[in-house]
Structures are given as C-alpha cells and as structure tokens.
Chain A
Amino acid sequence: GDSVTQMEGPVTLSEEAFLTINCTYTATGYPSLFWYVQYPGEGLQLLLKATKADDKGSNKGFEATYRKETTSFHLEKGSVQVSDSAVYFCALRGGSARQLTFGSGTQLTVLP
C-alpha cells in the first residue's frame, strides 16, 4: 500500500538558518503530494501541494518539488523564523482515493 517516510525529528535550528525536511513516498500510480503544518494547539493546515511530477509547491517561503525519479518531496525554506516552529507532515493522496496517507511528522523548533 501507499506509504510516506519522513525525516525523524526533532529538528532545532537558529533563526535564518536553512531548512530541509526529507520526505519520500511509495505509491502506485501518480499520487498528489502535500505538506501540512500543525502549530501548537491548532489543526493541520495545508502548507503546499504538488499534483504531478516536477511541480513545485510553494507558500510562505517554503518550497517542495515533486521528484518522481527519486519518489521524494523534500520541504525547504531558505531562512526560517521563530514563528515557523511547528510540526510538519508530509502526505500523499494516491490515485482515485480521497484519503490522505501521512508521514510521522517532524517537530521543528527555531531559536532566536
């Protein structure tokens, strides 16, 4: 079945550091890929998405590129802020299914 493997956390960075959170997936067909973010005490919010190979999703300075050849969708940000501290989830939706398959989440803490 479909699965998502996500970089283990927690990740602690200083403000303005470069962020990469790795995500790889296994799926049949051509899944859509997502990054969700969960701020403390809040629900999961869609951060960005990509629906086909080589698509780049971007939002709030975060980017991720759908790489079919490496089955990856790594999340990057050039300069993190304290307000980016949250848990980040990589997810996919495969084929005609509507449900999401999530990775285990990566806790990011950004220190001033």
Chain B
Amino acid sequence: EPEVTQTPSHQVTQMGQEVILRCVPISNHLYFYWYRQILGQKVEFLVSFYNNEISEKSEIFDDQFSVERPDGSNFTLKIRSTKLEDSAMYFCASSTLAGVPYEQYFGPGTRLTVT
C-alpha cells in the first residue's frame, strides 16, 4: 500500500541553524501539507501546497518557514533560523484532488529538537 515517507525520523540542531525536513508524498497525490505537534499540544496546520505554490498557510507559517517541491517526488519544509520553540514533531501529509472528503495520508513524522 502506498505511503507517505519522511526523513529524517529525528533531527537535532542548534538554535539559529537552518534545517530541511523531507517528505515523499504518495505518487499520484496533488495536495501536500505540513503540520506540527509541539510535545503535549495539539497537531497544528502549517501550510498546504498545490500546483507548485502555497494554497493556504496558518499564522504559524511565518517568514522563517518555506516549502518547496524540488522535483517530482520530494516535498520539503525549510526552517531558516531555528528557535527553541520550533522543537516539535513535524508531519507531512498528502491527498488527491478527487474523492470526498479528500482524505489526507500522513507520514510518520520527523521529531525536530532544537538545542
């Protein structure tokens, strides 16, 4: 069964460093998403991406965040200058255009630890 994959599973970085989290969505999906979950808190929407541009974004997704689909398979989230409060589990998801109600398939997550 097709699945969303994410790498790395755990990333440790120092405050102020740039990180790139990688995702490979399901191959025939057209919408891509990033969510995050700070430990003990809710899963929060960050951004959605369709047709090579951002479709929607939350207020969390400020100028230090960016997303890219650099090739036909990868979808990346870049955090330009990490802060301690960026420590969280980051989930990638994808969905097709067709089908109601556009079920989102999630990856296993990348745990980001900023020290």
Chain A residues with a Cβ under 8 A of chain B:
4, 32, 36, 41-46, 49, 51, 89, 91, 93, 97-105
Those of B7-60 within 8 Å (CB) of chain A: 31, 33, 35, 41-45, 48, 55-56, 58
The docked-state distance in angstroms from the alpha carbon of A42 to that of B33 is 17
Contact at B101–A45, with CB atoms within 8 Å?
no
B114 contacts A by Cβ under 8 Å: no
* Pair count A-B, CB < 8 A: 57
Taking CB atoms, residues of chain A closer than 8 Å to B42 are 4, 102-105
Q: Which of A45, A51, A98, A102 contacts B43 (CB 8 A)?
A: A102
Cβ contact within 8 Å between A105 and B55 = no
**B residues neighboring A (CB under 8 Å):** 3-4, 6, 31, 33, 35, 41-45, 48, 55-56, 58, 91, 93, 95, 100-109
Is the CB–CB distance between B103 and A46 below 8 Å? yes
Q: Which residue of B lies closest to A45 (CB)?
A: B106
B43 with A43: CB separation less than 8 A: no
Q: What are the 9 tightest A-B residue pairs by CB atom distance, in nearest-first order?
A: A102-B43, A44-B106, A43-B106, A99-B45, A43-B108, A32-B101, A104-B42, A43-B107, A102-B42
What residues of chain B lie closer than 8 Å to A99, measured between beta carbons?
33, 45, 48, 56, 58
Contact B56–A43 (Cβ < 8 Å): no
Q: Give bound CA distance, A93 to B111, whole Å.
A: 25
Q: Is the CB of B100 within 8 A of A100?
A: no
Contact of A93 among B4, B91, B101, B108 (CB under 8 A): B101
Contact B91 A43 (CB under 8 A): yes
Residue pair A98, B56 in contact (C-beta under 8 Å):
yes
Partner of B45, one of A43, A45, A100: A100
